[in-house]
Chain A
C-alpha cells in the first residue's frame, strides 16, 4: 500500500501568553516566541499511517509538508518514527492563510508521485484553521474524501475508517484511492522513537522541492478580532471556598 500524509509544522498556541491575544492586530508576530510543534491533528494522522504499516509490512509512507521552514529536527523525528520518505515543498510565495494555493501544491505533488492508495490529512491547522486544504486537494485530485475520521484499521487488504460526528458513529469500508481527513484521532500522539532509531535516522534528510503556487481565489483576510471568553474572575481564598460552595450547591 502507498500512503501520502500531509502535515504541518505550527506554533504551539497553548503557550501564548493570554494577553497577547488581546489586540486586533495580526497576532503572528506577537506569538513568534512560542516553540514550533507538529500540528496537533497531524500527529495522530502520522501515527495512523504507521499503524497501518505495522499491520501491513511493505507499506510505503511519504510525509509531505508545504513550508518555508527548514524543519530539519522534525523531519529527523519522522524518519526515526518510521516514515520512509519526507518531502518539504518550499513555496516561492508566502502561503500563510492561503489554503487553496497550499492545496494545489500538495495535489500537484500527489499527482506527480502517485498513485497513492490513501492520502491522509489532519482536519485543520493554525494559524488559518481554514478546514479547506484537505477538501480542496481531494477535489483537485478528483478523489472521494471522508472526514472526521477517528481511527483507520486494516486487515487482509481491507481498510476501515471509523468516523464520528455530533449525530452519528459510522464505520466505512473503503475502496482505495481515497482522501482521509482525521479529527480527534483515537491514537492522538506520534510514537516516540528510541534513541537507536533516532541515531539511525540522523543521516537522513527530507527531499526539498521548490515550487511557485498557482494564483487561486483564496479569501482575503481583512483583520482579526480577539475571541476571548471573559467572566468576573473574582479570586477567593481556599478558606472561603467551603462557604461559597455550600451556598452555591444549596441552590441546585
Chain B
C-alpha cells in the first residue's frame, strides 16, 4: 500500500502541523488485508524554501520514506495548475494507491482535480480513513452536517482531502504501546508484535539518515519533462490571476479567546438588539458572536459568525440567545465548556445541545445579565 501525502501551503509556518495530521491519518489507516506495511511519501509545495528544521521531530521525519519539495510561485491558488501537473507526474511514475491532500486553503480543489486527471475517485473533508479489503472507507458530512455519510472509494488512485480539523476526530497516534515502549507515528502498525512492520520501521528510520538530498525530486518550480498534463495548463510561473492583496491572519480573535460568549440568533430581530447584547457582554468582559443569518441580513460582519462557516469557539460559558440550534451553527459552539440556551420555542433543537435551557424570550435573560448579579 503506497500513500502519497501532499501539502500545499504558501509559507512554512503551518506545514509541520499538516504533516503531523497526514502521518496520523496514514497511521490510522491500518494495514491492507494480507499486504505489507503502508509506505508514505510526502510532497510539500510552498513558495518559500524549506528551513533546516522544516519537519522538526525525528518522528515526523521517519513517518515519510521520501520527503519531496517543490517550490511554487505565488499562492497555492495561483500555482494550482502547476501543482496538479507535478502531482499527476509523480503519481504516474510511482503508482500510489492513495493520495492524501491537506493545507489551509486548496486541499479540496487539488484532491478533486487530481482524481479527475488520473481517473481515480475523490472524497473531500474526509475523516476516519480506513482500509477495507481493496477499498478505502471514510466518513464525511452530508445533509448540511446533519448526518455522517460512510463512503467507499473503489477506483484508484483514491484522492482524498482531510478535513482541516479532523485531527480532533482521528484517534490520536499512540506515542507508546501497551508495554510503554515508544512507537513511531506513521510507521509502526498498532499490532506491535508484527515483525514486518518493525522491520519496515527500522529500514525507514535507517533510510532517513541517508535520504534527504536524494529524496528531493523537484528543487524548483520547473515541470518534469514529458508530462502529458501540459494541455490547458499554465506554464510554471504563469497564473490566471494576480494577487492584489493578501492579509495573513495570525493569532485568534477576541471571540475565539473569550471565556464568556453571548451569541445572538436570528430571533433577536435586528441590529439594535445586537447592540443591547454587546453592551451586556461588555459589562461582563465577554465577547459577542452571531448565527449566520444575522450577518447575512447585515446586522454585523461575517467575522462574528459562529459555526462551520465561521468561528469555532471554546469559551467556558456560551449563552445562546434566540438561535434554533442548526447543526452548522452547533459545530461552532460544540467545544464550549458550558452552554446555556434561551429560546421561546420549548421544542427548539438548541435545548438538546445545551447544558441548561430556558424557554423564554431572549430579552428576559439579557435583562438578568444587565442587573448586578
Q: Are A219 and B148 in contact (CB under 8 A)?
A: no
Nearest Cβ in chain B — how far from A106, in angstroms? 13
Q: Knowing A129-B140, A238-B360 touch, does A221 contact B150 (C-beta < 8 A)?
A: yes
Do the beta carbons of B243 and A183 come within 8 Å of each other? no
Question: Shortest CB–CB separation between residue B97 and chain A, in angstroms?
Answer: 14
| Segment 144-176 of A: residues with Cβ below 8 Å from B | 144-148, 150, 160-161, 163-175
A-B pairs under 8 A by CB, number: 255
Give the nearest-CB partner of A11 in chain B: B143
B109 close to A161 (CB less than 8 A): no
Q: Are A131 and B373 in contact (CB under 8 A)?
A: no
Q: Do A252 and B316 have beta carbons less than 8 Å apart?
A: yes
Q: In the complex, what residues of A have CB within 8 A of residue B125's CB?
A: 131
Give the complex CA separation of A232 and B302 in angstroms: 30
Residue from B104, B142, B338 in contact with A165 in the complex, judged by beta carbons closer than 8 Å: B104
The answer, yes or no, to whether A140 is at the interface (CB within 8 Å) is: yes
Which chain A residue has the least Cβ–Cβ distance from B244? Answer: A171
Whether A249 contacts B317 in the complex (CB less than 8 A), given A218-B121, A227-B146, A234-B357, comes out as yes
CA distance A245 to B355 in the complex (A): 13
Q: Is the CB of B249 within 8 A of A169?
A: yes
Contact status B357-A236, CB under 8 Å:
yes
**Contacts of B276-307 to chain A: CB distance below 8 A:** 284, 292, 296, 302, 305
Q: Are A230 and B353 in contact (CB under 8 A)?
A: yes
Contact check, A172 vs B146: say whether CB atoms are below 8 A apart: no
Q: How many residues of A contact B (CB 8 A)?
A: 83
> Which of A12-20, A57-65, A67-75, A78-86 participates in binding chain B?
A12-20
Minimum distance in angstroms from B38 CB to a CB of chain A: 21
Q: Mark B101-144, 1 if CB is under 8 A from A, else 0.
A: 00011101100110111011111110000000000010111111
Contact with A along B305-317 (1 / 0, CB 8 A): 1000100000011
Interface size on B, residues (CB 8 A): 95
B243 touches A144 (CB 8 A): no
Tell me the smallest distance from the CB of A247 to a CB of chain B, in Å.
Answer: 9
- Residues in B neighbouring A173, C-beta threshold 8 A: 241-242, 244
Q: Which of A40, A172, A228 contacts B242 (CB 8 A)?
A: A172
| A168–B240 touching, CB < 8 Å | no
Docked Cα-Cα span, A252 to B360, in Å, equals 25
Given known A-B contacts A167-B248, A170-B243, A225 and B352 have beta carbons under 8 A apart:
no
In chain A, positions 1-53 with a C-beta closer than 8 Å to chain B are 13-14, 16, 18, 21, 27, 31, 40
Point out the residues of chain A lying under 8 angstroms from B148, CB to CB.
Answer: 224-227
Contacts of A172 in B (CB 8 A): 77-78, 241-244
| A229 interface contact, C-beta 8 A | yes
Chain A residue nearest to B240 (CB atoms) is A144
One of B55-63, B192-200, B202-210, B229-237 contacting the partner: B229-237
- CB of B105 within 8 A of CB of A167, answer yes
> Contact between A161 and B241 (Cβ–Cβ < 8 Å)?
yes
* Given contact pairs A168-B249, A219-B153, A129 touches B349 in the complex (Cβ within 8 A): no
A74 to chain B minimum Cβ distance, whole angstroms, is 19
**How many Å from the CB of A207 to the closest CB on chain B?**
27
- In the complex, what's the smallest C-beta–C-beta distance from B207 to chain A, in angstroms? 33
Q: B341 to chain A: closest CB distance in Å?
A: 9
| Those 9 A-B pairs whose CB atoms lie nearest each other, nearest first | A142-B232, A217-B155, A135-B112, A188-B296, A171-B245, A144-B240, A139-B116, A172-B241, A219-B151
Can you identify 14 A-B contacts, CB atoms within 8 angstroms? A131-B108, A131-B112, A136-B122, A144-B234, A172-B78, A178-B241, A183-B309, A232-B354, A234-B355, A235-B346, A235-B356, A236-B356, A245-B365, A245-B368
